């Protein structure tokens, strides 16, 4: 954050209300997490406990202050918050050397957590925020990124959306591609998932990718529309199977002698029985 002084504006008021209750370093870390929730995202604390049922009167209540007896348990913390009529529960669990803080969105069931070492982070439990927690700015940023944002979008929703849109556009680009592929002419079909032909190469084999044959003839050459290849009398021609005429057909004059298909092999001696 660019100006820690501006961000922690309001911390002194919160600290004055709980100073007499703070008796260990864990309390200070929970208090700072509470400050980030109420300061950064306008959460309102509605009391203690892990009750996941939100009452109607609680939807319009809440405060930026910590409730009485918020740290009465020696090793556990449980605070309930509301924002936009959604219930959030902040839990703190003390292990041997660490404090695990968890935030739950009751409606979406999204959960985030962060593990801290109070002995390493907190220098003192009395004094200014930077004296008690020298890395207060960095810790507040961790609370925001690791604890708050995974379960709550809120004010930074537009920023996150803009970042995702930019990254999506970047991911779709191919670093190995030289220039953009040529787009197919209007009306030309391309199977789903198949890029248009690049660099103007012919569409050889493209139609084989489409089971309906909409991409052309594939690896097969088109059948010519020639009278020689008509099937049966009165046929309209077009794409028909090849049909070789048989028998003498002088009137058609399609294969005048010598017929290339009937030429004798080289050095053929004329003995038809060999």
SS (HEC) of 24-48: CHHHHHHHHHHHHHHHHCCCEEEEE
Q: Say how many residues make up the chain.
A: 274
> Which among 114, 42, 31, 119 has a CA at the least distance from the CA of 77?
31
For the beta carbon of residue 151, count every other beta carbon within 10 angstroms.
19
Q: What is the mean pLDDT of the chain?
A: 74
pLDDT digits (tens, 9 = 90+) for 145-189: 999 999 986 544 333 333 333 333 334 445 555 544 454 444 444
- Which of 36, 38, 30 is closest to 76 using CA atoms? 30
All structural domains of the chain, each given as residue ranges with its CATH number in brackets, are 2-146 (3.40.1000.30)
Would you state the pLDDT for residue 15? 96
The model carries a pTM of 0.56
Confidence of residue 271 (pLDDT cuts 50, 70, 90): low
pLDDT digits (tens, 9 = 90+) for 13-34: 999 999 999 999 999 999 999 9
Is the confidence at residue 87, as pLDDT, over 70? yes
Q: Which of 31, 29, 35 is nearest to 9 (CA)?
A: 35
Environment class of 101 (CB within 10 Å of its CB; exposed 0-12, middle 13-18, buried 19+): buried
Q: In sequence order, what are the residues at sequence separation of 6 or more whose Cβ sits closer than 8 angstroms to the Cβ of residue 11?
A: 35, 129
């Amino acid at each position: 954050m660019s100006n820690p002084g501006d961000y922690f504006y309001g911390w002194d008021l919160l600290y004055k209300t709980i100073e007499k209750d703070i008796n260990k370093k864990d309390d200070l870390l929970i208090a700072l997490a509470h400050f980030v929730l109420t300061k950064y995202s306008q959460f309102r604390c509605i009391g203690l406990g892990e009750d996941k049922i939100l009452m109607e009167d609680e939807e319009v209540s809440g405060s930026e202050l910590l409730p009485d007896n918020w740290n009465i348990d020696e090793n556990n913390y449980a605070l309930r918050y509301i924002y936009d009529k959604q219930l959030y529960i902040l839990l703190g669990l003390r292990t041997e050397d660490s404090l695990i803080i968890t935030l739950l969105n009751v409606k979406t069931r999204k959960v985030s957590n962060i593990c801290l070492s109070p002995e390493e982070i907190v220098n003192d439990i009395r004094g200014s925020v930077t004296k008690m927690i020298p890395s207060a700015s960095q810790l507040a940023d961790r609370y925001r990124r690791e604890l708050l944002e995974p379960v709550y979008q809120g004010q930074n929703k537009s920023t996150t959306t803009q970042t995702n849109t930019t990254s999506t556009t970047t991911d779709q680009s191919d670093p190995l591609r030289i220039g953009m592929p040529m787009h197919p002419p209007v009306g030309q079909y391309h199977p789903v998932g198949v890029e248009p032909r690049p660099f103007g190469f012919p569409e050889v084999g493209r139609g084989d990718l489409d089971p309906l044959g909409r991409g052309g003839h594939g690896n097969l050459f088109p059948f010519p529309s020639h009278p020689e290849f008509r099937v049966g009398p009165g046929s309209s021609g077009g794409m028909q199977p090849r049909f070789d005429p048989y028998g003498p057909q002088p009137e058609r004059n399609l294969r005048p002698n010598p017929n290339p298909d009937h030429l004798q092999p080289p050095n053929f001696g004329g003995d038809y029985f060999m």
